[in-house]
Amino acid sequence: MFIDHFDGKELNKKVWIETYLPQWSSRDKTRPSYNIKDSVLSLYISNDQKPWSEEYNGDIRVSNLQTGVFSGPVGSSIGQHHFSDNLIVREEQKEEFLLTPWYGSIEIKCRCYISEENVAAL
């Protein structure tokens, strides 16, 4: 059983990888924006954040954590979460499997908040 109450000021690097599918883009372009305060992890997308992978996902911006990542070499199509048929590895990723359960239950408490500033931009 794993429980993360986000009690510290930093993420547990033995569990969390601070990227979103970096093999289809890069680690730099897929780093999340987040803060941890009062045992709450807040992921957010700032107004000036760039798309994570314009080539494959257009203007979509993300702020995400992973618990595993892998890819083949640059130029291959090997990597997790094939959301499009034409994906090519842009940055090779060292295999990391931190928290990757095969079965069981996952429980999460979360909420979505859109700031007034971001609503006005829509």
Q: What is the structure's pLDDT at 114?
A: 76
What is the total count of domains within the chain?
1
Kindly report the CATH number assigned to the domain that includes residue 33.
Answer: 2.60.120.200
Q: Is the pLDDT of residue 71 over 70?
A: yes
Provide the residue range defining the domain that includes 95: 1-122
Give the residue carrying structure tokens 């992978």: 53
Would you place residue 46 in the very low, low, confident or very high pLDDT band (cuts 50, 70, 90)?
confident
Q: List the one residue out of 1, 40, 32 whose CA is nearest residue 16.
A: 32
pLDDT tens digits, one per residue of 82-112:
999 999 999 999 999 999 988 888 888 888 8
Segment 21-31 shows an average pLDDT of: 97
Q: What share of the chain is helix, strand, coil (3-state, %, to 5)?
A: 10, 15, 75
- Categorize the per-residue pLDDT at 120 as very low, low, confident or very high, splitting at 50, 70 and 90: low
Residue 122 pLDDT = 58
